[in-house]
Structure 1
């Protein structure tokens, strides 16, 4: 049992080191845009196509659900106009970057993992190395930057869609005035909240793409290995996103305590 536990721990540390090594190697040649720009454009178009509609479908009912729960409680306390602030602040600070990252990891990341795994099975990655082409620079770098950019856009879309969903429920169904809804939201938000949210979305998107590419490049050379790599990539990306979100949010709240 100790040997088995030690082997798993050693394997986890090795995989973590390889993950960071691939990430640093991918960022190292970021300046050489000519070698990966068109792949970047293609990945941006692909990620936007497969993630935009799911994000909207998730954010609209999410905003309405938060408005329902918060509005009911606020109505009992006689502060129903504060529902808009609770909905929008929750979307901006926490929901938007996490939702964007989870959609990127689940929809786009799984496709990245399967693509990289298929290339590994067909020995395309080895062929690129034989031709003196670094597969990390050519394939991983554009996917990391594409995922980070699309994740920031998706976070903005989550905020907009969730605010619309909360507005429809809170204003049209619960009778709160539009002015009170938006005044409560804008009164609690700060510019730093938006900047931190976009920064988290950028980081989470890059992490999701990096994990997906790493799992695909290191998978077993069989169709079953590719399928297992897709499952592992999704789970690991979710765990890293939640861990980094906790650390970043804690540091931010210590530096800038929430305004009441």
Structure 2
């Protein structure tokens, strides 16, 4: 018994195990965040230097942009329709009970422009774009193509990351505008067909309460979401290890981190806009 007691006493307690796991998780998360920030800053700096020196890889950028358009355009249309229908139907029912049917156009349109379109854009880019980018770069990493580029003196960030960042920043506002148009059109049809709103009152209220600032904020949010998505996807892809299983884990992490980051940043932007521009945008 005396020999068993010291061994039992040396085992860590449950609280100690939880503390170590929590500290390790927090430390790993902060380290990952730091590496992602470094990748984002480095890619922006290199893109600015290449643009000033007229050395941007426009061909690769357009190829990546076309790929992103192919994987997000049709899903974007399919997501825009339910966004516009749900916003107009839910808000329209409440407004109809208050006897203010003339305001359905403003409520539905602003809901799509300020929240529905940028969120749908971010989720599409985070689901399809981040997964594709992480899978591509992860496969290159485990095949040691990235290491070979470093040996030859080629910067992987300049060669692989910058074109994808530029492509994402090009596609994000275009996809956002597409979702706005389709979402508002879907909401308009629902309001006319199901809620009994006249076309004139719908567009009059929409034009009265919607400003250019609303559209610019929506586009700005989509660009920011796209930048977060592409940085996370590139960072997880370049750090993939452990063979195909590592690539799959990197893709999964890229999608989850992108969605969580978009949700948190959207809440922050909404609160800041509501605090500082309540009359124009809130």
TM-score category by the smaller chain? over 0.9
Which one of 54, 58, 66 corresponds to residue 75 of structure 2? 54
Contact 1:35 1:138 in 2 (8 A): no
Q: Which runs of 5+ in 1 are unaligned?
A: none
**1:78 paired residue number:** 99
> What's the secondary structure of 2:47's corresponding residue?
coil
Deviation per CA, 1:33-91, whole angstroms, max 9, x where unpaired?
43422111011100111101101001112211221112222222111121111111011
Which one of 123, 126, 150 corresponds to residue 102 of structure 1? 123
**2:251 paired residue number:** 230
Q: Under a length normalisation based on structure 1, what TM-score does the superposition of the two structures give?
A: 0.96
Which one of 235, 240, 256 corresponds to residue 219 of structure 1? 240
Asked if 1:15 is matched to 2:36, the reply is: no
CA distance in 1, matches of 2:279, 2:30: 37
**1:25 paired residue number:** 42
Structure with bigger gyration radius? 2
CA distance in 2, matches of 1:229, 1:26: 20
With 74-83 and 156-165 compared, the bigger mean Cα shift is at: 74-83
> What's the secondary structure of 1:30's corresponding residue?
helix
Cα offset for 1:11?
0.9
Contact 2:122 2:226 in 1 (8 A): yes
Q: Give the alignment's Cα RMSD to 1 decimal.
A: 1.4
Deviation per CA, 1:224-243, whole angstroms, max 9, x where unpaired?
11111111101101111111
CA distance in 1, matches of 2:151, 2:30: 29
> What's the secondary structure of 1:220's corresponding residue?
coil
Q: Which runs of 5+ in 2 are unaligned?
A: 1-16
The number of residues matched between the two structures is 260
Which one of 167, 187, 195 corresponds to residue 146 of structure 1? 167
